């Protein structure tokens, strides 16, 4: 009797074990189901490279290049800010901070990671946006720059914690060897530890960037609403994610617009798939 019960429990465990694979496939299937339908109205190359996004005009113009540029610009900006600062902070925490402070800093970074994006978006809206507007004398502070700064704060905890793990797992013998040869602590860090932890740090950066590309609420509240290809970083932009969030409410189920938004979803899904799988490969490379 016990054996029968255990047999069923173990089968249930197996099914749940396969659940993640099942859900990934399911997500992709449903995105494809609704998203691929848009290619009845527009060719893939026009979709991806078209410069005009006017989904509700007659006829609809469904080119997402401005949105791709928006996402890339904001992400690039966020990366330029968050990567050096994030890696530097990881080095500080891993190598220099005294033990008690280290624990506090790590907890602090974890709490930063937990702040909901809508809260950061709200704060960005009420503090950063007016500030950017006045400093650069712009008609509006809702710009790609504002977005990049706030997104940098969302990427940094990811970068810091994974890079810190990578530095921490460099074998102590590397460090001791360098010291034995008379190197200073700093020399050891940049000549020995950073190169040794490089694949982990690359993974950290990729995952941070992945998080930024996928961000929705904060960008929606801060980067303005202009679905045009940006000329510089001080103008409003629209990202892929914000487009979906902002327009899905108006799109009629089953309309072209609806399918187009799902198609954007497919693009995002594939981008995050590539980034995450590559980052994972880098994380496991060290073995």
Please, which of residues 257-276 interact with another protein by CB under 8 A? Answer: 261-262, 265, 268-269, 272-273, 275-276
The site string for another protein over 8-47 (x = CB under 8 A, - otherwise) reads -xx-xxx-xxxxxx-xx-xx--xx-xx-------------
Q: Does 135 participate in binding another protein (rule CB under 8 A)?
A: no
Count of alpha carbons within 13 Å of 95, Cβ hemisphere only? 23
Q: Does 123 participate in binding another protein (rule CB under 8 A)?
A: yes
Q: How far is CA 224 from CA 115, 144, 146, 214, 279, in A?
A: 22, 8, 10, 17, 31
Cα-Cα-Cα-Cα dihedral sign, residues 163, 118, 143, 68: positive
Question: How many residues bind another protein, per CB under 8 A?
Answer: 88
SS (H, E, C) 224-279: CCCCCCCCCCCCCCCCHHHHHHHHCCCCCCCCHHHHHHHHHHHHHHHHHHHHHHHH
Q: Does 141 participate in binding another protein (rule CB under 8 A)?
A: no
Site for another protein in 175-204 (CB under 8 A): 184-187, 189-190
Site for another protein in 79-118 (CB under 8 A): 84-86, 88-89, 91-93, 96-97, 105, 107-112, 114-118
In angstroms, the CA 9 to CA 56 distance is 52
Which one of the spans 72-80, 132-140, 162-170, 245-253 is the region binding another protein (CB under 8 A)?
Answer: 245-253
Give min distance, CB of 231 to another protein, in A: 25
Q: Does 60 participate in binding another protein (rule CB under 8 A)?
A: no
């Amino acid at each position: 009797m016990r054996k029968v019960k255990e047999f069923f429990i173990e089968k249930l465990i197996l099914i749940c074990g396969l659940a993640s694979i099942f859900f990934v496939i399911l997500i992709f299937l449903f995105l494809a189901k609704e998203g691929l339908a848009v290619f009845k109205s527009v060719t893939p190359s026009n979709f991806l490279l078209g410069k005009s996004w006017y989904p509700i005009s007659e006829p609809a113009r469904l080119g997402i290049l401005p949105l791709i540029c928006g996402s890339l610009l904001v992400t690039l900006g966020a990366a330029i800010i968050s990567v050096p600062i994030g890696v530097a902070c990881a080095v500080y925490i891993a190598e220099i901070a005294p033990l008690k402070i280290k624990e506090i800093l790590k907890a602090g970074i974890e709490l930063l990671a937990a702040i909901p994006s809508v809260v950061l978006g709200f704060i960005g809206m009420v503090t950063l946006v007016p500030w950017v507007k006045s400093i650069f004398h712009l008609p509006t502070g809702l710009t790609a720059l504002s977005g990049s700064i706030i997104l940098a704060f969302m990427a940094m905890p990811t970068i810091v914690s994974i890079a810190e793990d990578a530095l921490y797992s460099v074998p102590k013998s590397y460090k001791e060897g360098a010291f034995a040869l008379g190197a200073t602590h700093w020399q050891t860090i940049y000549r020995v530890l950073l190169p040794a932890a490089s694949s982990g740090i690359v993974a950290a950066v990729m995952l941070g960037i992945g998080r930024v590309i996928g961000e929705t609420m904060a960008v929606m509240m801060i980067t303005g609403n202009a679905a045009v290809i940006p000329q510089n970083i001080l103008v409003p932009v629209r990202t892929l994610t914000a487009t979906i969030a902002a327009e899905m409410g108006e799109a009629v189920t089953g309309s072209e617009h609806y399918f187009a938004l799902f198609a954007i979803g497919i693009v995002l899904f594939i981008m995050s798939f590539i980034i995450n799988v590559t980052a994972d490969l880098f994380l496991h490379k060290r073995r």
